[in-house]
Amino acid sequence: MPIVRSAIFPVQIPTHLPRDTPSARGVDSVAIDAFLDAVEGLELHGLMIYRAGAVVAEGYWKPYAADRPHMLHSAVKSWTGTAVGLAVGDGLLSLDDKVIGFFSEHCPAVVSDNLAAMKVREVARPLMQSLADLAQATVMMGEHDALHMVVVEVCHGSPTYKLRIEVGERVPRHLTALGRANLAATPADERVETVEEVCRQLAPDGPETLTAQMLASLREYDKLGFVCSFGDWSPDMFAVGVPLISADGNRVLSFSCNGPVHQMSRKRLLTEVGPRMVRLRDRIHKAVQGFF
């Protein structure tokens, strides 16, 4: 079923892939229309949706067409990221599996200790370290556990300042930029209820004030694209954070950049470090195609 829009035209060339209607393959045609509305204005060349053994929607934006050759760059990364995501979803591997276990036939005769210990998660570490070095700060990655965030990766970039935190430690979900980034990923229609529940557990005798403070902090995310913690966790530390949401919406990882007040001023956080955190998150999401 070709997509018919003013900016695109349906496929006119024969293809060996079977065709079917969206509804016949469990796809909501209204959702396809909504997607096209959402991407209007972007420079897309073509769209094909393949579901349950058949193409259910296909179309091309003029002047592009199905039979017009395209030059592709770095496409292998996309296919590899998709394949890894599918493998994780099927339980064939996890982000903590050692890389050597999948490529034993390609390993050198003598395997170094570093190569033997390499994990899939470590592939993302260089991006965090690069930002930590640039900002002269500490960049953390974490995942929430009830009222806390569990730190799963830490990168230090300053020779004089190192946040005293180790992988596996827990930090408050409501005070840290790491935790607020996690809360910011909550769907808008669920955010108030989620924050109220967290605050009731933290301050059962009077959660109203804490709830108001938390919601005010999360409104920064809607405006800026990142959350802030201006000395809320530690008086001498400012931080910014962003969430990384999986493609299926079932998992959220958070990243934060933390530094001393005398280096990480409010202005620097808002104009420099915050936007860099957003770009870091987007690069990681693109690299893994949203699967983690």
256, pLDDT greater than 80: yes
Residue 114 falls within a domain, yes or no? Answer: no
Residue 93 falls within a domain, yes or no? Answer: no
The CATH number of the domain where 215 resides is what? Answer: 3.30.450.40
Final residue of a structural domain among 43, 61, 79 = 61
Residue 83 falls within a domain, yes or no? Answer: no
Residues 151, 18, single domain; the answer is: no
Do the bridges between strand 237-245 and strand 252-260 make them parallel or antiparallel, or are there none, so unpaired? antiparallel
Q: What is the mean pLDDT of residues 54-69?
A: 88
- Residue 132 · residue 138 · CB < 8 Å: yes
Q: How confident is the model at residue 249 (pLDDT cuts 50, 70, 90)?
A: confident
31, pLDDT greater than 70: yes
Residues 153, 268, single domain; the answer is: yes
Residues 34, 133, single domain; the answer is: no
Q: What is the pLDDT of residue 76?
A: 64
Q: What is the pLDDT of residue 7?
A: 45
70, pLDDT greater than 70: yes
Residues 179, 251, single domain; the answer is: yes
Q: What is the pLDDT of residue 105?
A: 64
Tell me the C-alpha distance between 261 and 250, whole Å: 35
Q: What is the mean pLDDT of residues 168-179?
A: 89
Q: What is the pLDDT of residue 63?
A: 87
pTM for this structure? 0.58
Q: What is the pLDDT of residue 168?
A: 87
| pLDDT tens digits, 175-214 | 899 999 998 888 877 778 888 887 788 777 777 877 787 7
Residues 272, 168, single domain; the answer is: yes
Residue 183 falls within a domain, yes or no? Answer: yes
Mean model confidence pLDDT for the chain: 81
Q: How confident is the model at residue 9 (pLDDT cuts 50, 70, 90)?
A: very low
Residue 39 lies in domain: 8-61
Residues 128, 56, single domain; the answer is: no
Domains in the chain, number: 2
| pLDDT tens digits, 90-139 | 877 776 666 666 666 666 666 555 545 445 466 678 889 999 999 999 99
